[in-house]
Structures are given as structure tokens and as C-alpha cells.
Amino acid sequence: MIKKISVSLKKKSYSIIIGFKIFKKSDFLFYFSKNKRYFLITNNTLLSIWAKKILQIFKKNNINIDIIVISDGEIYKKIEQVDYIIKELLKKNCSRNDVLVAFGGGVIGDITGFVASIYQRGISFIQIPTTLLAQVDASIGGKTGVNHALGKNMIGTFWQPKVVIIDLFFLSTLSKRELLSGFSEVIKYAISFDKKFFIWLEKTFFRLINLEKKSLLYCVKKCCKIKAKIVSLDEKEKNLRALLNFGHTYGHAIESCTNYKNFLHGEAISIGMILSARTAEILGILEISQVKKIISLLNKFQLPIFFPKKIPLLNYISYMKRDKKNSYGKIKLILPFKIGLVKIYDNIKEEVILSSIKNSFEKI
């Protein structure tokens, strides 16, 4: 069964399509034209597992498609990859009428979207996310970009895709670590916006980890509906959309401090959510019982919850100060008021942040 969710925007509204074995059933063909050229951007890992099969399906249906393969992993999410893709597009005479197709996880989606937004002043692109994290979060909303040595996602644009096609069948070949990392963003939605969803996750975690179809479809659809609604209300993160960044200021700083080598994105966000909950506890806005519930759920999904002790705290604070949500060097955080409700808090003092980190060294 195919589920369809709309992202309603003033200029570039689009659909999120969710299903199982969409490509085997050729259900994707409606979103592709035989009169256009498509350039599939992917990585070597996906090339060997899925991309060749997908290319065959496209060609069998007379869709004109070429492929560009880039390096895999967050450490390669750099401007150099953007330059490489643009060179390949120019060599292949890619025009403004052609379409890029992001086939991969969040890194592939972010880079492809960024290239689409700047190549010949903007061309269309399609998102086909293959990781859970990308399916529930990164592929939706039009945030694109690459990392800089001094901060994550500091170079980028807002550029919406034509469509997001989510085939849950792709999750069957994810490593366990990559799959569990994606559930961090799922839990983020529950803590931030929906207490009932949080309770459902507590009860359903085993079925989700084991990719039970009905539960997985409900879970992904739920997350996509939440994000689609928020993006529709605040496309370019002027206010409400910032709430989607719960745990991310802390998490992005962890990724930056460890050069994107020690933690997957979802793992860093998991730790970031604990640090945010600890911060809220210290400020007296979140009860300790709620902190324990958050930790318990992250534990069920086997996600990390302790701050890495090897990170120098002064370096860490420096990265946090560069976060895009901050103003005039004052640290702004998204903190939980209770499970199902987060708020924006301005000018969080460094001593509070340091206290939350030190508290996260110890088990509750």
C-alpha cells in the first residue's frame, strides 16, 4: 500500500510517497518523464547493493538516466564533492531541464540538493532516501549543504525536491548500527511533539528494530507527517521549524569535535538529546522522571547516551557557539518542557552547558 503526504508550500509544494517495494512494482514511474534526462547521485556502497538494479529498472522503462558516484560517509560531505559532481555534470552536458536524483542517505541527499540549487542557478532534484534517518527526516524540507572544518552544515541552501520517494524495502540491507542510528530522529519527533507517539515507541521498539512492516510504515508515515506540517508552516526556519533541532546543537558539536569519524549522525543526536534533557533538568524546567524516560527509550533502541570524555570542553563550547540558531554569540537551545513539548531557550549560560555535560558522564 502506498501512502502519500503533501508538503504544502507557497511556491514548490510536493509529495512524499511511502511504500514497500515501490521500485519493484514500478510505482515510481509517475514521477519521471521520458522527455527528461536524470542523473543519479549515489555512493559506492549503494552502487553494489541497489543502484545498478535501480538503473536497470529505469532503462527498462525507457527513462534516460546516467550515474555519478561519490565517496561514502559524513567525512566526505565537503565542498570538494560538490565541485566533483558539477564537473561531471558539465562533462555530460547537463542542462537546466535535467533532473538530479539523490539516491542514498542524508549525506547524498544534502550534497545533491545543494548541487541542484546552485548548478546553472538551480535545477530540479528528486529525493530517494535509502536510510531510515534520511527517510524520516533529512530528505524532507529542502535543507541542503556541506560541512566546513569549523562547523557542520555551514555551507548550504534551502532548495525543495520535486518529490520524495520512500521505499522501506531499502532498509533491509542497512547495517544494524545504521538502522538504530535512524531511530534517534524518530525519538526526537516523539519527545518534541507527540507524547502518545513516545508511548507507542516504548511498546513497539522490538517490532521496529526487526523491521516489522506494519509498525515501520506507521512509524515512518508519522514522522513524515510531523515534519511536513512544520515545514509547510515555516519553510526557512524563521521560528517554528527550529523546534526540529532538538538535540542537534549538542549533537552537531560532537560530530564536529570528532571530525565526523566516531559517531553516526543519529548517535550524536542521541547524546545531544540527553544533554538537552539534562540542561532542562538543571534549569528546573524538566522533571528528573522525564529525563529517565528519555534515557530508557534511547537505551531500548541501543543508542549512546554518554558524552565522550575525550572531547576538550572548551573546544566543544566553541563549536556550539557557531551553531546557526545562535545570535550574537549567545547559545540558543531547543529544550524539552515535558515529553511531547519542546521550546526555544535563548542565551543559555556556558556553566549550565558544562554542568549538563558533566552530569551526563554518570548513570542515573
Structural domains present in the chain: 3-172 (3.40.50.1970), 176-359 (1.20.1090.10)
Q: Is the dihedral of CA 283, 229, 322, 131 positive or negative?
A: positive
The CA-atom distances, in angstroms, between 304 and each of 171, 196, 260 are 21, 23, 16
pLDDT for res 139: 98
Q: Which of the residues 77, 78, 147, 185 is marked catalytic? A: 185
Instruction: State the Cα–Cα distance between residues 1 and 18, nearest whole angstrom.
Output: 8
Active-site residue, 212 included: no
Residue length, the chain? 364
Q: Which of the residues 237, 255, 267, 281 is marked catalytic? A: 237
pLDDT for res 364: 44
Q: Which of the residues 241, 267, 278, 332 is marked catalytic? A: 241
Indicate the SS3 state at residue 319: helix
267 CB-near residues (< 8 Å, 6+ apart):
181, 184, 303, 304
pLDDT for res 342: 98
Helix residue spans in the chain (DSSP H): 44-46, 52-60, 79-91, 106-118, 132-133, 176-193, 195-209, 213-233, 248-257, 265-282, 288-300, 313-321, 350-359
The CA-atom distances, in angstroms, between 188 and each of 40, 44, 140, 228, 248 are 30, 30, 15, 15, 10
Active-site residue, 248 included: yes
Q: Which of the residues 188, 252, 278, 332 is marked catalytic? A: 252
For 60-87, how does the pLDDT look when each residue is reduced to its tens digit (9 = 90+)? Answer: 999 999 999 999 889 999 999 999 999 9
pLDDT for res 151: 87
- Residue 349 CB coordination number (10 Å): 11
pLDDT for res 328: 66
158 CB-near residues (< 8 Å, 6+ apart):
117, 142, 143, 144, 235, 236
pLDDT for res 362: 52
Q: Which of the residues 265, 267, 278, 332 is marked catalytic? A: 265
Q: What burial class does residue 271 get, using C-beta atoms within 10 Å of its C-beta: 0-12 exposed, 13-18 middle, 19+ buried?
A: buried
* Rg of the chain in Å (alpha carbons): 20
pLDDT for res 330: 80
Q: Which of the residues 77, 227, 278, 332 is marked catalytic? A: 227
Active-site residue, 35 included: no
Q: Which of 148, 161, 126 is nearest to 28 (CA)?
A: 126
The vertex-247 CA angle with 244 and 250, nearest 5°, equals 130
- The pTM of this model reads 0.95
Task: Check if the beta carbon of residue 1 is closer than 8 Å to that of residue 132.
Answer: no
Active-site residue, 148 included: no
Q: Which of 127, 106, 114, 122 is nearest to 40 (CA)?
A: 127
Q: Which of the residues 77, 248, 278, 332 is marked catalytic? A: 248
Report the mean per-residue pLDDT for the chain: 94
SS3 sequence of 280-305 = HHHCCCCCHHHHHHHHHHHHHCCCCC
Q: Is the dihedral of CA 80, 73, 143, 259 positive or negative?
A: negative
Active-site residue, 185 included: yes
pLDDT for res 52: 87
pLDDT for res 360: 81
Indicate the SS3 state at residue 138: helix
For 291-305, how does the pLDDT look when each residue is reduced to its tens digit (9 = 90+)? Answer: 999 999 999 999 999
If you search the block for the grid coordinates 547559545, which residue do you land on? Answer: 331
Q: Low-confidence residues of the chain, pLDDT below 50?
A: 363-364
Active-site residue, 237 included: yes
